[in-house]
Amino acid sequence: MDYETLMQIFGSTVRLGTPLLLACLAGLFSERAGIFDIGLEGKMLAAAMAAGSVAAMSGSAWVGLVAGIGASLIFAMLHGVASITFRGNQLISGVALNFLSSGITVLVAQALFGQGGRTPPLAGAARFNPITLPFAEIVKDVPLIGPLYTEVISGHSILVYAAMACVPLTWWVLYRTRFGLRLRAVGENPAAVDTAGVSVVGLRYAALTITGVLCGIAGAYMATALQAGFGREMTAGRGYIALAALIFAKWRPWQALGATMLFGFFQALALRPDVVEKIAHVKVPVSMLDALPYILTVLVLAGFVGKAIPPRAGGEPYVKER
Amino acid sequence: MRKLPQWADVVLVPLISLLLAAIVAAIVLLAIGQSPTKALGIMVEGAFGSANGWGYTLYYTTSFIFTGLSVIVAFHAGLFNIGGEGQAQLGGLGVALVCLALPWPHWTVALLAATLGAAVFGAAWAAIPAYLQAKRGSHIVITTIMFNYIASALIVYMLVDVLRPAGQMDPASARFPVGASLPALSDMPFLREFFARLNPDGTPRLTKAGVAMYSNVPANVTLFIALAACLVVWLLLWRTRLGYQIRAFGKSEAASKYAGINPVKITMIAMLISGGLAGMMAINNVMGSAERLLQNSAEGAGFIGIAVALMGRNHPFGVLLAALLFGFLYQGGAALGLNTTIPIEMRIVVQGLVILFTGALDQMVRMLLVWLFSFGRKAVA
């Protein structure tokens, strides 16, 4: 495999890793606050449908993005009502919302456009188009740095750069602000936070709000940047892969970037059977390549994680004054 | 919080949850410009209005009993097995390999062997996530979901590259031999009269040779195996030492460890039984109806099992009733997809709503009932 191809694969790694990264950070906020969220998948899907539909109707990707975030927030708040207010089982609530989202996105898209549950293909301003960073044309022919800059660093949509910026931002919020300290505390020992006079419920809803916004961006990216429109089940398990990445990253933001880019790389490889064949020297069935990201996810979960210790109060509804 | 009387907890809570799910589903239908009452009418007519409809409703019910039982066995061990879909697909592979292996002399022999094949393949597919959960602490929810995706890729590979007969275009296995064909409900004594085809005037329709004609229904002898499985799972969970260990482990891992219950063993056994039950669903759809292995053979029944288990309050008898309800929803939903412009995905919406209300919001329903009951008490006092 030559350098050029490798850079192309890295470029699509970034593109495919971005929704995983956003969803992973989304999960990081809710799980650090003690709320398991299996429903990342459903939130992304709902956001993808809303963003795709609204972008198709308004012709603006930005309006679509706002709609996507709105749809994702609705699902996040439903999860909050079920798992925070009514202390339901967080895993079951997440699974339920994933099914709800899977069905309702098709219903709404069909009712709006009548194209078999898809949105019309998006083009022009209805999509987030690639941005060419400055000097990309000039350094293009410089060896080594040229392809790296033009293929991997430049030429992505603005949401990719926004997702990258979310990594240091998450780190800063989590470890350098009072809100972040309380958020982490509420995931470890909510009773202590409660004793200090801070609202456990309030903090957890705040965390889910951030989760909703980030999943919204992830879904909008799927429908208006990565692909040109919404299609049935288009998230294809990315919410779950993001959860696996979150465990792999042991609930830390910089490691989340590494983990999601690794999974993004697996997905990028699955798109290039020719390259895989050249390296493996055997004909690899396409269906095996499709399964590759999931198999590697299981391998990562099984072996390389080491001891992943989740936030201590994760999954436990907080009951005041027992 | 005040406790509810037991009858209210067992009967009222699921019924009110279901009612709430139905109300939200009706709102969804109104929102996309459809009439909920008309939709319900079409669903009831489609599921129960004809012998043919009954045939499909009972067929789906059979599948959902297996996947529902699969979920409750794992639930009682405190494990959330979302991998029923993949395990059912692998069960289908097991059935196909068994059925295609020999020219089976009689369906009873074939059924025994295929049931074994289905259960072993389903259990094997559950074994890896179970082992990873028990030994490596990988979260079973995520690994079983991953295994669903891996299963469908594996089935595609098997159908395209291994099992597909030469010269056939669509990715499917060869047809199973005649000896492996299970009798449908319409082939059975006593039951067949119900599935007789009638002329408009109510007399049985006859072939040219003067033999009565019967509808061809997918529901088959597997229904009785499913009913037996309900009983066996009940016996296992509440009448055996193993069942006690499974339930104790699910209630409190720490306490059961202290009582000498081996967590690795119970996790493995519970998941193997769970996977085996999910796999056994394949004798209904693959062997009993399609008679060859198709892509995506489980058609989401593995996921429905979660809703069935929650709706059935984690009890085999509840699973039976909930499976019948979902059989109705599924066949009714298919009728909606055929006869109206409502997409068939409405079924998934209802499924999600039922899981949400019976599984995650049951505390809300209970609070509501406690509040209502407190009025009753005041009135009496």
Contact A16, A264 (CB under 8 A): yes
Mean pLDDT of B11-38: 90
- Closest to A285 (Cβ–Cβ): which among B28, B161, B364? B161
Does B345 sit within 8 Å of A107, measured CB to CB?
yes
pLDDT at B381 over 60: no
Mean pLDDT of B187-194: 77
Chain A contact present for B348, CB below 8 A = yes
Q: A287: which chain B residues are within 8 Å (Cβ-Cβ)?
A: 153-154, 156-157, 160
Chain A contact present for B26, CB below 8 A = no
Q: Could you please report the per-residue DSSP string of B314-357?
A: T-HHHHHHHHHHHHHHHHHHHHHHHHSSS-TTHHHHHHHHHHII
Cα separations in angstroms, B105 against A202, B179, B184: 67, 5, 18
Contact A53, A258 (CB under 8 A): no
Both tokens of residue A40? 């990342």
- Closest to A288 (Cβ–Cβ): which among B82, B128, B153? B153
Does B157 sit within 8 Å of A95, measured CB to CB?
no
pLDDT in tens, A127-145: 888 887 777 777 777 777 7
Q: A111: which chain B residues are within 8 Å (Cβ-Cβ)?
A: 32-33
- What is the pLDDT, as a whole number, of residue B2? 63
- What is the pLDDT, as a whole number, of residue A245? 87
Chain B contact present for A305, CB below 8 A = yes
How does residue B147 score in pLDDT terms, banded at 50, 70 and 90?
Answer: very high
Residue B197: partners with Cβ closer than 8 Å, 6 or more residues away = B204, B205, B212, B213, B214, B215
Does B351 sit within 8 Å of A99, measured CB to CB?
yes
Does B160 sit within 8 Å of A82, measured CB to CB?
no
Contact A103, A46 (CB under 8 A): no
Domain ranges for chain B: 55-323
Cα separations in angstroms, A27 against A38, A118, A298, B146: 9, 27, 18, 17
pLDDT in tens, B161-171: 888 888 888 88
Q: Name the minimum distance, in Å, from the CA of A312 to any CA of chain B.
A: 15
Residue B110: partners with Cβ closer than 8 Å, 6 or more residues away = B98, B99, B104, B179, B180, B287
- Determine the residue of chain B that is closest to A104 in CA distance: B349
Q: Name the minimum distance, in Å, from the CA of A236 to any CA of chain B.
A: 9
Mean pLDDT of B364-378: 82
- What is the pLDDT, as a whole number, of residue B13? 85
> Is the four-CA dihedral B265, B266, B271, B273 of positive or negative sign?
positive
pLDDT in tens, B210-219: 777 777 789 9
Taking Cα atoms as reference points, which of B30, B129, B37, B117 lies closest to residue B82?
Answer: B129
In three-state secondary structure terms, B257 is helix
Mean pLDDT of B321-337: 92
Mean pLDDT of B345-369: 88
Q: Name the minimum distance, in Å, from the CA of A87 to any CA of chain B.
A: 7
Mean pLDDT of A220-248: 89
Domain ranges for chain A: 3-128+139-237
- What is the pLDDT, as a whole number, of residue A171? 96
Both tokens of residue B350? 């209802």
- What is the pLDDT, as a whole number, of residue B178? 87
d(CA B140, CA B297): 23
The ipTM assigned to this model is: 0.89
d(CA A285, CA A169): 41
- What is the pLDDT, as a whole number, of residue A76? 96
pLDDT at A322 over 60: no
Q: Which of A240-254, B22-36, B224-238 has the highest mean pLDDT?
A: B224-238
Q: Could you please report the per-residue DSSP string of A139-205?
A: HTTSTTHHHIIIIIISSB-HHHHHHHHHHHHHHHHHHHSHHHHHHHHHHH-HHHHHHTT--HHHHHH
When mean pLDDT is compared across A43-52, B58-67, B82-91, B136-145, the lowest value belongs to B136-145
Stretch 293-312 of chain B: residues touching chain A, C-beta under 8 Å: 303, 306, 310
pLDDT at B3 over 80: no
User: How many CB pairs below 8 A link A and B?
Assistant: 150
- Closest to A88 (Cβ–Cβ): which among B137, B153, B360? B360
> Is the four-CA dihedral A16, A17, A20, A21 of positive or negative sign?
negative
- What is the pLDDT, as a whole number, of residue B341? 86
Q: A101: which chain B residues are within 8 Å (Cβ-Cβ)?
A: 352
Interface test with A, best of B79, B150, B330 (most A CBs within 10 A): B150
Chain A contact present for B136, CB below 8 A = yes
Which is higher by pLDDT, B195 or A41? A41
pLDDT in tens, A11-28: 889 999 999 999 999 999
- Closest to B153 (Cβ–Cβ): which among A99, A247, A291? A291
Q: A117: which chain B residues are within 8 Å (Cβ-Cβ)?
A: 343, 345
Interhelix angle B140-157/B84-101, rounded to 10 degrees, is 30
- What is the pLDDT, as a whole number, of residue B4? 77
- What is the pLDDT, as a whole number, of residue B379? 64
> Is the four-CA dihedral B271, B89, B148, B230 of positive or negative sign?
negative
- Closest to B360 (Cβ–Cβ): which among A96, A237, A301? A96
pLDDT at A307 over 80: no
Does B351 sit within 8 Å of A103, measured CB to CB?
yes
Q: Name the minimum distance, in Å, from the CA of B187 to any CA of chain A.
A: 36
**Residues of chain A above pLDDT 90, percent:** 47
Mean pLDDT of A272-299: 79
Q: B362: which chain A residues are within 8 Å (Cβ-Cβ)?
A: 88
When mean pLDDT is compared across A134-143, B34-43, B102-111, B262-271, the lowest value belongs to A134-143
Stretch 63-92 of chain B: residues touching chain A, C-beta under 8 Å: 80, 82
Determine the straight-line distance between the first and last CA of chain B, rounded to whole angstroms.
Answer: 20
- What is the pLDDT, as a whole number, of residue A115? 86
Q: Return the CATH number of B55-323, one of 1.25.40, 1.10.3470, 3.40.140, 2.40.128.
A: 1.10.3470
Q: Output DSSP code: residue A86.
A: S
Chain A contact present for B371, CB below 8 A = no
pLDDT in tens, A75-96: 999 999 999 998 888 888 998 9
Mean model confidence pLDDT for chain A:
88
Interhelix angle A40-58/A61-80, rounded to 10 degrees, is 150
How does residue A311 score in pLDDT terms, banded at 50, 70 and 90?
Answer: confident
Contact A50, A67 (CB under 8 A): yes
Chain A contact present for B343, CB below 8 A = yes
Does B349 sit within 8 Å of A96, measured CB to CB?
no
Tokens 């009269």 found at: B193
Does B139 sit within 8 Å of A87, measured CB to CB?
no
Mean model confidence pLDDT for chain B:
89
Interface test with A, best of B18, B149, B158, B362 (most A CBs within 10 A): B149
Say what the pTM is: 0.89
Q: Which of A290-304, B179-193, B344-358 has the highest mean pLDDT?
A: B344-358
pLDDT at B353 over 90: yes
pLDDT at A212 over 70: yes
pLDDT at A257 over 90: yes
Q: Could you please report the per-residue DSSP string of A273-322?
A: HHHHHHHH-SPPPHHHHHHHHHHHHHHIIIIIT-S----TTTTPPP-S--
pLDDT in tens, B58-110: 999 999 999 999 999 999 999 999 999 999 999 999 999 999 998 888 999 99
Mean pLDDT of B265-292: 94
Chain A contact present for B259, CB below 8 A = no
d(CA A190, CA A182): 9
pLDDT at A106 over 80: yes
Angular region, B173: left φ>0, alpha ψ -120 to 50, beta rest:
beta
d(CA A84, CA A211): 14
Q: B153: which chain A residues are within 8 Å (Cβ-Cβ)?
A: 287-288, 290-291, 294
d(CA B126, CA B141): 12
pLDDT at B1 over 60: no
**Residues of chain B above pLDDT 90, percent:** 54
- Closest to B149 (Cβ–Cβ): which among A96, A111, A291? A291
pLDDT at B204 over 80: no
> Per DSSP, what are the bridge partners of residue A231?
none
- What is the pLDDT, as a whole number, of residue A155? 79
Q: Name the minimum distance, in Å, from the CA of A210 to any CA of chain B.
A: 22
